[in-house]
A = this chain, B = another copy of it.
Amino acid sequence: MVTLADVARRAGVSPSTVSYVLSGKRAISAPTRERVERSIRELGYHPDLRARALASRRSDILALMVPLRTDLYLPVMMEISLAVATAARAHGYDVLLLTGEEGPAGVRRVADGVRADGVVLMDVQLDDARLPPLRDLGLPAVLIGLPAEPAGLNCVDLDFTAAGSLCVDHLARLGHRELAVLGEAPAVYERGTGFAERTLAGIRERAGAAGMRLLHRPCQGGYPEVAHTLDRILDERPGTTAFVLQNEHAVEPLLSLLRQRGRAVPEDVSVVAVCPDQVAEHAPVPLTSVSLPAEGLGRLAVERLVTQLADAPGGGWARDGVLLLPPVLTVRDSSGPAPAPGPPH
Distance A98 CA – B82 CA, assembled complex (angstroms)? 9
Contact A50 B46 (CB under 8 A): no
* Nearest B residue (CB) for A101: B86
Q: Nearest-CB distance from A314 to chain B (Å)?
A: 12
Q: Nearest-CB distance from A74 to chain B (Å)?
A: 4
A89-B102, A282-B222 known; A81 and B97 CB under 8 Å? yes
Distance A66 CA – B74 CA, assembled complex (angstroms)? 15
Q: Nearest-CB distance from A58 to chain B (Å)?
A: 10
Distance A48 CA – B79 CA, assembled complex (angstroms)? 32
Contact B49 A113 (CB under 8 A): yes
A74-B78, A75-B74 known; A89 and B94 CB under 8 Å? no
Contact B256 A48 (CB under 8 A): no
Distance A94 CA – B53 CA, assembled complex (angstroms)? 16
Q: Nearest-CB distance from A102 to chain B (Å)?
A: 7
How many chain A residues sit at the interface, stated as a range, is 35 or more
Q: Chain A 82-114 against B: per-residue CB contact (8 Å), 1 yes, 0 no?
A: 100110010000111111011000000000111
In the complex, A59 has a CB within 8 A of chain B = yes
A75-B75, A256-B284, A282-B223 known; A86 and B99 CB under 8 Å? yes
Contact A82 B68 (CB under 8 A): yes
Distance A49 CA – B68 CA, assembled complex (angstroms)? 25
Question: How many copies of this chain sit in the oligomeric assembly?
Answer: 2
In the complex, A194 has a CB within 8 A of chain B = no
Dominant secondary structure at the A interface: helix
Q: Nearest-CB distance from A210 to chain B (Å)?
A: 33
* Nearest B residue (CB) for A48: B114
In the complex, A54 has a CB within 8 A of chain B = yes
Name, among A46, A47, A82, the residue most crowded by chain B CB atoms within 10 Å (CB to CB): A82
A50-B50, A54-B51 known; A97 and B99 CB under 8 Å? no
In the complex, A183 has a CB within 8 A of chain B = no
| A78 contacts across to B, CB distance below 8 A | 74-75, 77-78, 81
Within 8 A of B (CB), among A55-78: 59, 61, 64, 66, 68, 74-75, 77-78
Distance A112 CA – B40 CA, assembled complex (angstroms)? 13
Distance A115 CA – B49 CA, assembled complex (angstroms)? 6
Q: Nearest-CB distance from A144 to chain B (Å)?
A: 15
Distance A221 CA – B75 CA, assembled complex (angstroms)? 15
Contact B50 A59 (CB under 8 A): yes
Q: Nearest-CB distance from A3 to chain B (Å)?
A: 12
In the complex, A252 has a CB within 8 A of chain B = yes
| A47 contacts across to B, CB distance below 8 A | 113
Of the A-B pairs whose beta carbons lie under 8 Å apart in the complex, a sample of 18, sorted by A's number, is: A46-B113, A50-B50, A50-B59, A50-B115, A51-B54, A66-B82, A68-B86, A74-B74, A74-B75, A75-B75, A75-B78, A85-B97, A85-B99, A89-B99, A94-B97, A94-B115, A249-B282, A253-B284
**A-B contacts besides A48-B114, A49-B113, A256-B256, 12 pairs, CB < 8 Å:** A48-B54, A48-B113, A50-B50, A50-B54, A61-B96, A68-B82, A74-B75, A77-B78, A85-B97, A89-B99, A252-B252, A252-B284
**List of 5 A-B pairs having minimum Cβ-Cβ separation, nearest first:** A46-B112, A49-B113, A74-B75, A78-B78, A97-B97
